[in-house]
Structure 1
Amino acid sequence: MTIAEEFKSRNFSIYGQWTGILCVVLCFALGIANIFHLHWVILFSVICLVSAFLILFIEVPLLLRICPTSGSFDSFVRRFETNYMRAAIYFVLSLIQWLSIIARSTSLIAAAVVLLIAAIFYALAGVKKQAFVNSKTLGGQGVAQMIV
């Protein structure tokens, strides 16, 4: 299945997964950009950087097989295999970035918005009772099994 076919499937979990990849790039870039503030924003930018790596491992299952990680981290990441659990983690990460406004209004708001959009996609997939589907392009079904 190509990327175009995945998007035509109208499965919101695919949309959520690709939005999650966008979140990785955005959280990494904005986390680095805002870490140089001499304010409480540093805390939120570090959380944004950590979020980028956490989302990367959640959204690209192939990384759990090829990167040396601990068993506790692997079991933590595997908790997010359903649409509702992914919607919950994205919502919490978005909420944390929205709280950064308390410290100072920065570009971390963009990360909060995109994280919220990913949470909405996964919540819609859960409400519509769509099966969670990993994108084959990102190491979903078939690719991860070839590594073993």
Structure 2
Amino acid sequence: MGFIEEFKSKNFSIYAQWLGLLSLPLLFFTGIFAFVKGFIFSIFAWILCFILIFVEIPLCIKVCPTSDRFDSFIKNFENHWIRTVGYLVFATLLFVFAHFATTLYVIPGITLLLTGICYAIAGGLRQQHAASSFTGGDSV
């Protein structure tokens, strides 16, 4: 299934995954740009980016050598509601950083907020969790 078919599927889990994937480079590059002024933010952004890579790209868990403990930690995020809470907490933390530092931190915070909202809609509609076929998932 291609990107257009996934977009037409009206599965908010897929939309959330695409928004989560959009958050990855934003977190990474914002962490680089903010390294001098916001060292703590940069470390937080890179750790968050690392975790989200494994949460949003199922192929990484299959391909990368990880410990059983890390795999079980990532499997906790298979539920829409857990992902919703996680993304909303991450977005809130970024907005708090933006309040004390610079508005640059708002950009990945917005994508994380939208991702959390999409996962909440998917959970509210009781949609099955689906991962995009581009990331090693089974799509819709």
Offset of 1:102 from its aligned partner? 4.1
Gaps of 5+ in 1: 143-148
Q: Work out whether 1:141 is the aligned partner of 2:138.
A: yes
Per-residue CA distance 1:80-134 (angstroms, 9 max, x = gap): 1121111111111111111103431230111111110100010011111111111
Q: Which moved more, 1:97-106 or 1:113-122?
A: 97-106
Q: Distance in 2 between matches of 1:141 and 1:113?
A: 27
Q: Distance in 2 between matches of 1:60 and 1:33?
A: 25
Ranges of 4+ aligned residues in structure 1 off by more than 4 Å? none
Residue in 2 that maps onto 1:51: 48
8 Å contact from structure 2 (residues 98, 104) kept in 1: no
Residue in 2 that maps onto 1:33: 33
Residue in 2 that maps onto 1:11: 11
Which of residues 39, 57, 60 is equivalent to 1:60? 57
Per-residue CA distance 1:61-82 (angstroms, 9 max, x = gap): 1101111111111110011112
8 Å contact from structure 1 (residues 14, 134) kept in 2: yes
Q: Which amino acid aligns with 1:112?
A: G
- Aligned-residue sequence identity (percent) comes to 37
Residue in 2 that maps onto 1:112: 109
Q: Which moved more, 1:9-18 or 1:94-103?
A: 94-103
More helix by share: 2
Q: Distance in 2 between matches of 1:3 and 1:85?
A: 25
Q: Distance in 2 between matches of 1:110 and 1:19?
A: 12
8 Å contact from structure 1 (residues 45, 108) kept in 2: no
Root-mean-square deviation over aligned CA pairs: 1.3
Q: Work out whether 1:83 is the aligned partner of 2:111.
A: no
TM-score (norm 2): 0.94
Q: Distance in 1 between matches of 2:82 and 2:39?
A: 28
Q: State how many pairs are aligned.
A: 139
Q: Which moved more, 1:82-91 or 1:55-64?
A: 82-91
8 Å contact from structure 2 (residues 58, 137) kept in 1: yes
